[in-house]
Amino acid sequence: MKYLFTVLILLFLLTDYVAYPQQTQPVNESTASATAPVIVYDDPMVAALDSLSNLKYFENSQRLRVQLSQNKYNFLPNFVPSYPDSVYYYRLQRLNVESPINFTYNVYVKNFIDLYANRRRGLMERVMGLAQIYFPMFEQKLDQYNLPLELKYLAIVESALRPDARSRVGASGLWQFMYGTGKVYGLEVNSYVDDRCDPIKSTVAACRHFTDLYNIYNDWLLVLAAYNSGPGNVNKAIRRSGGKKTFWEIRPFLPAETRDYVPAFIAVNYVMSYAAEHNLYPVMPRMVYHEIDTVAIRRPVNFALLAEKLQIPIEDLEFLNPNFLKGYIPATDASPYYIRLPQKSVADFVNNEQALYAFFQLKPYEPSQVVSTDEPEFILKKKTHKVHKGETIATIARKYHCTTTEIKRWNRLKSTKLKYGQNLAIYTRVKNPDYEASLALKAQQAKDKQELMVPDTVDTSIADADTLSGDDGTVASNETHVKKPKTVSSSVKSNTTQPSKPVYHIVKKGEYLSKIATAHHVTIDQLKEWNNLGKSTVYVGQKLRVSDPSQNTLASNLPDTTVKSSSAKVTGTEKASNTKNIIYTVQAGDTLWSIAQKYEGVTVEQIRQWNNMSKSSNLKVGQKIKVILPGGDPCQSFFKRLLKISFFS
């Protein structure tokens, strides 16, 4: 009896040790097994987790409430539980009973449990938060295709639940589809849209792919291996193993990434099912599944417009709709697109759908956009050069005033080595014979227009801003009045030169002064002179004049009585002598911000003030907008434009 009592006490102590976590260090993996894989930090599963550190879509204040409600073991906040192997084994056996997928516990699975539950705890809690957005939809689609619901955890291994994830080999989306595989399952990819990043479409494609693979292998672990590396690699591993048909038997013959793929999936199943036992709690995102809804888009719109009109942060639109690569939705009636919006904004979209489309109406056909008299001054002419003995690609490039890179591109060469007698295609820059004729035609057209229409008196007077728009939103008539043209005397004609509007160029990324000069057929010295440049350095967003100022001399050569204008009434420091008043007609797609960007020194608030517009006022196509252009030092205007560039903000 005494020995029996002692045995019972020992069994009780052993049960207590197994049932409750011990604050001990994990078992050294190197001593556990000599063949255990080493998890390196550039592993795809590790890289997917690490990418969450830059995902700014979480409200950390929510974590405290979740921790208080789910901390059933009363762990301290920073406590990291660890358990003996027997606990992991029995817990996985319990999951194995409840799933058609065979969950095995071994040293490979143990390594990934340590990764997700210990080494990447903070990132795993973010994954648990993102699961609140995607898992309800995953479960719905998996159930629809009669698939195990545990497959939803595969998206964590693939992408760490980042819908915009992209691997080093080009796989994209939550389920990491390659381009070819995505096309097989109906996932279209173009310049604006990548269906592989669409959460719903990609999930449906993944379910169809799972079904096809299971019909081949009839084993879920082999299905996972084939999903990662392709059926071809799995079939080769089966043949090399001597016809074995289980994952663990063919594992040594699979690619290195696939060997870790299935153990990582089993470990994620375990950690997500026993998160509370490891003191892990979700960091909740700004929205969860039931706070998101879907609407159909039937006209072209962009995220910037939706964010402005529906009062939605643009980062929310980008996060919820990662399949639109450039923030533009190329929808039509024949091929609509579906976007995800916060549920509270769906009613605003439905009520204003047609108004949103009106901003992106297609412009009518204009023949002048297709038929043009403009001809380039220089054109490229193809020549054939036969390689002589001793010639190199560098000497040939110097001979034809081009670069070796251009010669390689023209001839699709992979190296700089040439063969004796080889024919090379060379493109040289020559004068366009049609260029002079084009200039003469344009000059004649401008001359005829000048002789026919030279106004005797131009009245550009504008009514007060108070009369520009009424209380009902209608626009009063403030058209520019031009008196009947009269014939200009020969003396005036002889003193006038051909007028031309000044031409400006906005510097873009990668452009430099010589490139701009070549594009506009002028010299670098002319650009420096016309823009008061001391150096050849230009900046992105800088506005450069690329036409000769001396050609714009019509107004200066006409008599003083030819042009008469009365300035609009302005207030404060806006004097008539220093300002210019114009009437702008609103076009389709215009906003107050885009109109302000068309004129130097003009802001949205100024346009609202000049036109008695409130912040809630909407623009209408054809509406007349009064704009007062400020005068002053051109250098000061240049620096004001620089301040508008987002690069400096």
Domains of the chain with bracketed CATH: 54-278 (1.10.530.10), 289-358 (no CATH), 378-431 (3.10.350.10), 461-478+567-649 (3.10.350.10)
Residue 617: per-residue pLDDT: 72
For residue 73, what are its two tokens?
Answer: 């073991």
Residue 324: per-residue pLDDT: 94
Helices (H), 71-153: 85-97, 107-114, 121-144
Phi and psi at residue 164, to the nearest 5°:
-100, 15
Name beta bridge partners: 339: 295
- 133 vs 176: CA distance, rounded Å: 18
For residue 261, what are its two tokens?
Answer: 């793929």
Residue 35: per-residue pLDDT: 46
Residue 538: per-residue pLDDT: 79
Residue 399: per-residue pLDDT: 86
For residue 468, what are its two tokens?
Answer: 């520009």
Distances (CA, A) of 21 to 2, 71, 80, 81, 225: 31, 14, 10, 6, 33
Residue 403: per-residue pLDDT: 86
Average pLDDT, the chain: 76
User: What percentage of the chain reaches a pLDDT higher than 90?
Assistant: 35
CA angle 128, 131, 132 (to 5 degrees): 105
- How would residue 642 be classed by pLDDT, with cut points 50, 70 and 90? very low
Using alpha carbons, select from 506, 527, 547 the residue that is nearest to residue 642: 506
* Three-state SS at 516: helix
Q: Would the pLDDT of 254 be above 80?
A: yes
pTM of the model: 0.52
Residue 26: per-residue pLDDT: 39
- How would residue 555 be classed by pLDDT, with cut points 50, 70 and 90? very low
